[in-house]
């Protein structure tokens, strides 16, 4: 990567009136958490078929198998640490350069890195909710359940991870807040997302259509690249600290 796009991105961020970040599984890849898509060997798709696991139908068919997959992921995430990419975003927020992180990730690594205003569009692997639509039980957890599938203490139905599965709507409060933030933002820093998952992928489009600036960080081109104003090719954990340094010099 030459310096020119980095400087362009730093200038856009330093002069933005209201900037936000939008992240996907790629920002956590360097923490050792596999992405869903991306390159073959460390993508989750190569080991599991998420269409057989991350759907309400799969859970109905075989809740134990779905839970086994989540317990595997929880253990992986528990051992993982935020990487310099997450840390750079937390510092950009502390500097007032970005106002929030809208994430598609369910791993909680942004919060652990120190980001304060995090909007989780796809829920959190660290929360459970009751699978009985008539029951409103929800709880936070800090480790995988001992017995799977865990049962709801309120009604006895199975608990499920409080994440968004294929074909499910996004949590209304998180989506509403993300759209509101996008509508008032003039700059967005998109990191490590394929831009293939809707409606989440509308968030950077809202800023583009409003005449704002889209900065993208990814190891390869994505569905967002064709309309990105600046494309910073590289790993989030390497590019974001450099971007932070360049922005800091301009403040």
Any residues with CB less than 8 A from the CB of 140 and at least 6 apart, and which? Answer: 126, 127
Secondary structure of residue 226 in the 3-state scheme: helix
| Residue number, 41 or 146, with CB nearest to ligand NAD | 41
Residue 152 interacts with, from ligand NAD, Zn ion, none (CB under 5-8 Å by kind): Zn ion
| Residue number, 24 or 149, with CB nearest to Zn ion | 149
Best CA proximity match to 99, nearest among 174, 188, 230: 188
User: Rounded to whole angstroms, what are the CA distances from 170 to 18, 192, 234?
Assistant: 24, 20, 30
SS (H, E, C) 40-84: HHHCHHHHCCHHHCCCHHHHHHCHHHHHHHHHHHHHHHHHCCCCH
- Choose the stretch contacting ligand NAD; rule: CB under 6 A; options: 14-22, 23-31, 61-69, 139-147: 23-31
Identified binder of ligand NAD from the candidate list 194, 203, 212, 213, rule CB under 6 A: 194
Q: Does 115 bind ligand NAD (CB under 6 A)?
A: no
Residue 115 interacts with, from Zn ion, ligand NAD, none (CB under 5-8 Å by kind): none
Active site residue 110: no
In total, the chain counts a number of residues equal to 251
User: What six digits make up the tokens of 251?
Assistant: 């403040």
| Residue number, 221 or 245, with CB nearest to ligand NAD | 221
Site for ligand NAD in 221-250 (CB under 6 A): 222, 235-236
Report the C-alpha gap between 15 and 20 in whole angstroms.
Answer: 13
**Which residues carry out catalysis?**
122
Which residues are at the interface with ligand NAD (CB under 6 A)?
24-26, 28-30, 33, 35-38, 44, 104-107, 122, 192-194, 196-197, 217-220, 222, 235-236
């Amino acid at each position: 990567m030459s310096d020119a796009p980095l400087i362009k991105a730093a200038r856009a961020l330093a002069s933005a009136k209201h900037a936000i970040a939008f992240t996907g599984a790629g920002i956590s890849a360097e923490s050792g958490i596999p992405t869903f898509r991306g390159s073959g060997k460390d993508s989750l798709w190569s080991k599991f078929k998420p269409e057989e696991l991350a759907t309400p139908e799969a859970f109905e068919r075989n809740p134990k198998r779905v839970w086994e997959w989540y317990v595997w992921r929880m253990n992986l995430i528990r051992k993982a640490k935020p990487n310099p990419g997450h840390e750079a975003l937390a510092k950009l927020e502390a500097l007032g350069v970005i106002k929030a992180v809208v994430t598609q990730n369910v791993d909680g690594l942004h919060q652990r890195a120190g980001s304060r205003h995090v909007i989780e569009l796809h829920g959190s692997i660290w929360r459970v909710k009751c699978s009985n639509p008539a029951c409103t039980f929800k709880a936070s957890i800090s480790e995988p359940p001992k017995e799977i599938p865990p049962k709801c203490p309120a009604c006895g139905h199975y608990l499920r991870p409080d994440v968004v599965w294929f074909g499910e709507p996004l949590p209304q409060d998180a989506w509403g807040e993300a759209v509101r933030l996008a509508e008032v933002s003039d700059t967005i820093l998109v990191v490590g997302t394929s831009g293939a998952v809707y409606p989440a992928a509308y968030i950077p489009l809202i800023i583009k259509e409003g005449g704002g600036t889209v900065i993208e960080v990814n190891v390869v081109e994505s569905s967002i690249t064709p309309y990105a104003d600046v494309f910073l090719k590289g790993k989030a954990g390497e590019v974001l600290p450099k971007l932070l340094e360049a922005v800091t010099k301009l403040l």
